Structure 1
Amino acid sequence: MAVTEAERRAMTRAIELAVRGPRGANPQVGAVFLSPTGDVIAEGWHRGAGTAHAEVDALSHLDPDAARGATAVVTLEPCNHTGRTGPCALALIDAGVRRVVYALDDPGATSGGGADRLRAAGIEVEAGEQADAARTVIGDWLTAQRLGRPHVTVKWAQSLDGRAAADDGSSQWITGPQARADVHRRRAASDAIAVGTGTVLADDPLLTARDGDALFPHQPIPVVIGSREIPETAALHRHPHALLRFETRDLQTVMRELHARGIQRLFVEGGPTLASAFIAAELADEILTYIAPVLLGGRRLALTEIGVGSIAHARRLIVDERVQLGADLLVVAHPEDASAATEVTEEGS
């Protein structure tokens, strides 16, 4: 059975509800229940670890037996495991729903499989409705579940001719205030922000997320990667969170440690050496390039070696978005072959 117009509207609403929940170790999920005639009879969303999942939250607003024959529209495949709460797939079966429409498969080894359990109970299941829109909400959680590492955004600012700084090393500011404000909003949406020791020594960044002169309520944890010593007077020591320091060049080790600390979204901001290392290691899930209409020339390229020896081996990207920010242009892209994203293994290979 094809997805109905009422179910499409319900999925749009479920995605709106999902973002009401807090970002954290658990995914943001929304749910809408429809009567057999297509009317909305209940809504719910996941409010954080240990609380009812979206489907159960929605069911809690219904009288007993009110969900019999209903359709549950959910942004993520109903879970199939018992953790702090019971399996949502079983809750839907017990409630007597007739049909379930969801956007994204749950990739979890223990939490996935809810759709099969629902089908085995005789419930109609339709998967993939508005999957791209739902992925924008929980893409970082999906990466962490699938690959065992944080979702990585690599950002840089550059001149029109691809330079990250002038020949004397000065780089503040290539882009204008609107582009910089956008960067700070994206920092605030991240769990951690990473730079190399070269950036710390050259720019002495605070690594905070600021709204004008004020700090955003959520601050990313500062991460520094590299072997050079950081001065005790470095500005990042004044960050609200304690610095995470990695002197290894093994990014797989860094990814494992960050994942173990519950970091799901990592914002890699500088400089060219670190950005290039993440791209070369196929660890970049998203790339943000802020392009300023200036020419700098010289040797200080925005990227260095990324493991491309010929045009046949070029790292091809799919452009997701182009945003004009004052005089600057932001290009948002992701690797063409998303399935090539690197899984962090115990051996670090």
Structure 2
Amino acid sequence: MTIATTTTVESAMRRALDLAALGPAGGPNPQVGCVLLSPDGRVLAEGHHRGAGTPHAEADALAQLPPGTAAGATAVVTLEPCNHTGRTGPCAVALIEAGVARVVFALRDPYRLAAGGGDRLRDAGVEVVEGVLADEAAALNERWITAVVRGRPWVTAKWASSLDGRIAAADGTSRWITGDTAREDVHRRRAAHGAIVVGTGTALTDDPSLTARDADGSLLPDQPIPVVVGASDVPSDARLRSHPRPLLHVRDHDPDAVLAAIAEAGATSAFLEGGPTLVSAFLAAGLVDEVLVYLAPTLIGGPRLAIADLGVATISAQRRLDVRATRALGSDLLIVARPHHAGSPESFAAASAATRED
């Protein structure tokens, strides 16, 4: 029997990664894609995971084929096939029962309850190859992997400010500091997170909708869970009450408690939108994984700073960041930065494998 070549398998893995990216980000599940290859390297079927409760990528691909036609095939998957029964059955078992001869996956599953599919496949006589395009797969699911390894959601802190670090004029007006292109980028990033978080001050003053919207104002397919932090009640007629997803009100200012509530709601990433008291609390606690700063070429002055006190009493205690990317957005500039010495996706992938061997 012929076996699909390494080049063919890598090409299929790249396709599987593209398919995986079609699935929702920020929820309780990773983004996973699968391509089934015939022994001579032809694509038999493709699949990807569409969200909690839907068929996993492997099952989605197998469902495209008549019974028996996957016998002898190679399954190329971006994540180790799961080995547990949750809302769906174990993908490792589905592949064994379908007669798949070889399984190639990029990353070992860091989630202990689902891990072990590779070993189960080997025990059943299926050839297993792991680590193909592992770095690319780790980058795709970096937030989910980080959440699993650290036991808390990935946190992105975002603010838009003038060049002198102001987020509003002295009277509190802030619409709009940045332009349309920058705001469109924010909405795309909202949709890529499981939750969007503001304090009660922002919720009551700005009456935000906290939805992720397209340029024409229509809702994007993926919507983050709206989260409000603070003791004050959110009015019944607030725009937040019309969000497509139920409001999560966390009446606790402790960042760890907020993240625990967000994780309990099923989100593995959180997008902090404000205000400065909320964002600064997470920064001071060392719980921010990425910072997005949208800088507008304007000067405002006054007291409305983007960041409040971080407990930096002397310059040696400053919070160093590494700039990962810069991008022009119309007349504005986006700076993407992360805490100095923060781990890479690849390091978290390696850590995830290590957790299974502890």
Same fold, TM-score > 0.5, yes or no: yes
1:59 paired with 2:62, answer: yes
Q: Offset of 1:114 from its aligned partner?
A: 1.8
Q: Offset of 1:60 from its aligned partner?
A: 3.6
CA shift digits 1:101-128 (9 cap, x unpaired):
2223212121012223334445443333
Sort the Cα spacing of 1:262 and 1:299 in 2 relative to 1 into closer, same or farther, 3 A: same
Q: Offset of 1:229 from its aligned partner?
A: 6.0
Q: Kindly report the root-mean-square deviation, in angstroms, between the aligned alpha carbons of the 2 structures.
A: 3.2
1:27 paired with 2:27, answer: no
* 1:109 corresponding residue in structure 2: 112
* 1:16 corresponding residue in structure 2: 18
> Residues 113-152 of structure 1 correspond to what in structure 2 (within 5 A)?
113-121=116-124, 123-135=126-138, 137-152=140-155
* 1:345 corresponding residue in structure 2: none
Are 1:178 and 1:326, in contact at CA under 8 Å, matched by a contact in 2?
Answer: yes
1:277 paired with 2:292, answer: no
Are 2:166 and 2:306, in contact at CA under 8 Å, matched by a contact in 1?
Answer: yes
Are 2:78 and 2:137, in contact at CA under 8 Å, matched by a contact in 1?
Answer: yes
CA shift digits 1:213-271 (9 cap, x unpaired):
63415543432212456567755455455543223211222222222222333221011
Q: Offset of 1:22 from its aligned partner?
A: 4.9
Structure 2: how far apart are the matches of 1:324 and 1:157?
A: 14
| SS of the residue 2:188 aligns to | helix
Q: Name the amino acid aligned to 2:176.
A: W
Are 1:188 and 1:216, in contact at CA under 8 Å, matched by a contact in 2?
Answer: no
Structure 2: how far apart are the matches of 1:100 and 1:316?
A: 43
Q: Which moved more, 1:107-116 or 1:63-72?
A: 63-72
Are 2:45 and 2:62, in contact at CA under 8 Å, matched by a contact in 1?
Answer: yes
Give the gaps of 5 or more residues in structure 1.
Answer: 342-349
1:264 paired with 2:274, answer: no
* 2:163 corresponding residue in structure 1: 160
Paired residues, what number?
339
1:247 paired with 2:277, answer: no
* 1:85 corresponding residue in structure 2: 88
Q: Which moved more, 1:25-34 or 1:316-325?
A: 316-325
Highest RCO, 1 vs 2 (Cα 8 Å, sep ≥ 6): 2
After TM superposition, the score normalised by the length of structure 1 is 0.82
Which residue of the other structure, out of 295, 302, 316, is the alignment partner of 1:291? 295
Percent same amino acid among aligned pairs?
Answer: 58
Give the gaps of 5 or more residues in structure 2.
Answer: 349-358
Sort the Cα spacing of 1:63 and 1:313 in 2 relative to 1 into closer, same or farther, 3 A: farther
After TM superposition, the score normalised by the length of structure 2 is 0.80
Sort the Cα spacing of 1:238 and 1:96 in 2 relative to 1 into closer, same or farther, 3 A: closer
1:38 paired with 2:78, answer: no
Q: Name the amino acid aligned to 2:190.
A: R
| SS of the residue 1:210 aligns to | coil
